[in-house]
Amino acid sequence: MRKVIASIENLGMTFPSENGGLQALSDINLTLYDREFVCIIGPSGSGKSTLLRILADVLVPTQGKVTFADGQNPNRAIVFQSSNLLPWMNVIQNIALPLKIRGAGEKEALSQAGNWIRRVGLNGFEYEWPQNLSGGMKQRVAIARALVQQPELLLLDEPFGSLDALTRDQMGLELLKTWETFHPTVLMVTHSITEAVLLADRVAVFSKRPGQIIHELEIPFQRPRSPELRDEIKFLQVVKKLRGMIVTESI
Ligand SMILES: Nc1ncnc2c1ncn2[C@@H]1O[C@H](COP(=O)(O)OP(=O)(O)OP(=O)(O)O)[C@@H](O)[C@H]1O
Ligand SMILES: [Mg+2]
């Protein structure tokens, strides 16, 4: 039986507002398994980021609960849509920071950060400042900063949302390669159906606000997956099926 990493039960979130509260999420039920890659697709404002923030322990839900396999403080990392790098730290310092916060020594933290810099293809930019990097490079730093923590659960909130189509494509393929060698459980929000079908084992489709899961689709393709898969008829058929599931929802 597959190991459950996180179990989300009857989760709801209502933010306080002047007219009695804004309900962002309603009755979300989702189980995340070990080494599984799950994508969430849904309309803007349907509570996708809210769900990730709850899972990252940045927000406390108003209804329901999340249970983690390893107690209430599992090893998890989140990458936001904007890279959120600390501008007064260079690339390697940004990536090493979470390790230092967890008590790693300077030398060890920098050495592990250096490994991830190579793995995300940023060799030579170790001592560069965030403001001198392109959008794609900043997102690579943010992804390396999450992966250096070797999280059991990796939460990705539209990590490539601000990138141009070509860079986005490349970053998706890099993420696929990294995930296939290192295998954390991933929950990723994306607006790209193609990206979701290429990367995910399972896709959850959100309704309009308040967000509910209206469909779940298993993606039937073997791994490792290559970029050429995107041109195959069977891939396009799954894309079409998923598009049909969200056709009534504008995303
Ligand atoms: N901290 C907050 N306080 C009050 N309302 C909030 C807060 N965070 C989010 N909301 C509201 O909750 C709803 C869901 O927001 P959320 O950011 O989760 O949507 P989303 O699905 O991630 O949208 P997008 O695809 O545009 O990123 C929105 O109506 C938003 O205004
Ligand atoms: Mg969002």
Q: What is the pLDDT of residue 72?
A: 75
The reply to whether omega before 224 is within 30° of 0 (cis) is yes
- Tell me if 94 CB under 6 Å of ligand 1: no
* Length of the chain, in residues: 251
pLDDT value at position 195?
Answer: 94
**Helix H or strand E segment including 51:** helix 48-55
pLDDT at 247 over 90: no
Residue among 48, 80, 190 whose CB has most ligand 1 atoms within 8 A, to mutate: 48
Whole-model pTM? 0.94
The predicted structure's pLDDT at residue 165: 86
Average pLDDT over residues 55-78: 91
CA of 205 to the centre of ligand 2 (A): 14
Per-residue burial over 176-206, b if 16 or more Cβ lie within 10 Å, else e, is bebbeeeebbbbbbbebbbbbbbbbbbbbbb
Ligand 1 pocket, residue 15 CB under 6 Å: yes
Ligand lying closest to the C-alpha of residue 156 = 2
Per-residue pLDDT of 133-155, as tens digits, reads 998 899 999 999 999 999 999 99
Q: What percent of the chain has pLDDT over 70?
A: 98
- Pocket probe mutation, ligand 1, options 18, 19, 22, max atoms within 8 Å of Cβ: 22
Of 39, 25, 42, the C-alpha closest to 187 is 39
Task: Quote the pLDDT of residue 181.
Answer: 84
Question: Ligand 1 centroid vs 193 CA: distance in angstroms?
Answer: 21
Q: Is the pLDDT of residue 49 over 90?
A: yes
Of 10-19, 57-66, 198-207, 238-247, which range is least confident? 238-247
- Under the banding of pLDDT at 50, 70 and 90, the label for residue 69 is confident
Amino acid at 224: P
pLDDT of residue 250: 52
Residue with CA nearest ligand 1 atom 25: 44
47 CB near ligand 1 (under 6 Å): yes
Pick from 46, 50, 59 the residue to mutate for probing ligand 1's pocket: most ligand atoms within 8 Å of its CB.
50
Ligand nearest to the CA of 211: 1
Residue 249: its pLDDT value, please?
53
User: What burial class does residue 145 get, using C-beta atoms within 10 Å of its C-beta: 0-12 exposed, 13-18 middle, 19+ buried?
Assistant: buried
Once rounded to an integer, what is the mean pLDDT over residues 85-99? Answer: 97
> Tokens in use for 23?
């309900």
CA–centroid distance, residue 132 to ligand 2 (Å): 26
Whether the per-residue pLDDT at 177 is higher than 90: the answer is: no
DSSP lists the bridge partners of residue 232 as none
Give the model's pLDDT for residue 96.
98
